[in-house]
Amino acid sequence: MDPLERAADGAHAAARADDMDLLRRWVAVAPAPATLNAALCGAARGNRVEILDWLLSCGVPASATFEGVPALEWASREDAADAVRLLQATQATTESAGERAAWLPAALAVPRREGTVGHGSETIHWIEWGERGAPPIVFVHGFVGHAEWWSFIAPFLAGDRHCIALDLSGHGDSSWSDTYSREKWSTEIDDVLTAAGAVGNPLVVGHSMGGLVALATAARRSSTLRGIVVVDSPMRPPEPPPGWTEPVPWREAAPTRRSVYPTFEEAVARFRLVPAQPVSNTTLFRHVATRSVRRTEPDGDDVGWTWKFDPSMFGRRELTPTCTYLETASCPIAVVTAEHSWVVDPTVPEYVHLFQERHVPHVVIPDAHHHLLIDQPLALVTALRTLLQTWETPHGR
């Protein structure tokens, strides 16, 4: 039995036995959809309404399955009347509110593999979907984000692609570092591609800061890239034109110290998007939030739950001007922006085009803010599919 299956079985049994402490430990060991889905089904079987409600509030779908059996069926088999009522009510509310689209459970159920690779003294974590040997795509998260931001996007492209999402150092389940820079993060992509067995020239897709890491990668190894897609990234010309709008001042959101919360639920409840924006899809918001926290080290002074990112990054990043990357990058570049972004100035695509001999496609995602992976995930998937098809179809055909 592999570690993920063991964690799923453990979480299922803990939830069924109403052992919340043990369940939290299993979730901390493997905070993957399979673990949470198994726990929901265990709570349904045991009629553990408090645990069931907690899991549902964290974004675990009421339609979750374990061993191929839906949670509602598990509850019905065991005559767990309270669980049946809660699951039915949740499904009805979700359907009427439109918060959870029918596509989400299927996307999260696409098989995935996880791994780590050494990068100097650090360890870099990644997730992959699809068959090795297929054309590779690397997904890069934004600042203080993590690979799970792509966990409901990448599966849509994994049918004929080898999709890989990594946690950059200082983020997610990767090690923290003494120094951070886009160039350093770019070399972490190299190591993950090798460790994940990627074959052929990859496409690099980056959101926000991840788009700047994609640019740094293009500046360093354009000849070995299929191209890059920069998704709502705050690029600034060296001499901004009249009317230029400065991106949101990220440093205003910088934490002065590590925040620790006594329970998992309290930590998740404190999760916020930076920059702030309306949240139209609470299910995806919770999905990201529940995967953004970790348990503190047991021998530390502060016991509880905290954010996965390294708070010292806010004061220890080395930033290279965007134009430096664009002057060197020669691979295809596409720009995707959100219609209501507070981060990207409307003149950014024109600025990028100044450095590129070829056409730079620009896609605007309607009715989306900066965190468009949560706002408009399917529109983003469509944009990526279209860009891939455009770049891979010979001219004139």
pLDDT in tens, 9-46: 999 999 999 998 888 888 877 777 888 899 999 999 99
Taking alpha carbons only, the member of 117, 158, 116, 166 closest to residue 140 is 166
Spatial contact of 86 and 52, defined as CB atoms under 8 Å apart: yes
* 377's tokens: 């995930």
Domains of the chain: 3-100 (1.25.40.20), 107-250+315-392 (3.40.50.1820)
173 Cβ neighbours under 8 A, 6+ residues apart: 116, 125, 146, 147, 167, 294, 308
Report the C-alpha gap between 164 and 107 in whole angstroms: 15
- Strands 203-207 and 227-231, by their bridges, are parallel
65-89: average pLDDT:
89
Q: Work out the angle at residue 95's Cα, subtended by the Cα atoms of residues 23 and 337, and round it to the nearest 5 degrees.
A: 85
Task: Select the more confidently predicted residue: 307 or 244.
Answer: 307
SS3 87: helix
SS3 113: strand
Indicate whether 154 pLDDT > 70: yes
Report the C-alpha gap between 93 and 381 in whole angstroms: 26
Spatial contact of 293 and 268, defined as CB atoms under 8 Å apart: yes
Full DSSP string of 175-232: PP-S-EEHHHHHHHHHHHHHHTT--SPPEEEEETHHHHHHHHHHHHHGGG-SEEEEES
Walk across the sheet containing 112-119 and list its strands: 112-119, 122-129, 162-166, 136-140, 203-207, 227-231, 333-338, 362-365
Whole-prediction pTM value?
Answer: 0.76
Element (H, E) at 125: strand 122-129
Spatial contact of 289 and 308, defined as CB atoms under 8 Å apart: no
Report the C-alpha gap between 290 and 50 in whole angstroms: 17
Taking alpha carbons only, the member of 287, 349, 214 closest to residue 55 is 287
- Strands 180-181 and 162-166, by their bridges, are unpaired
Among 78-82, 295-299, 377-381, name the one with the lowest average pLDDT.
295-299
Spatial contact of 150 and 139, defined as CB atoms under 8 Å apart: yes
- Using one digit for the tens of pLDDT, what is the confidence trace for 161-218? 999 999 999 999 999 999 899 999 999 999 999 999 999 999 999 999 999 999 999 9
**What is residue 275's predicted lDDT score, i.e. its pLDDT?**
83
Helix axes 3-16, 33-46, angle to 10 degrees: 30
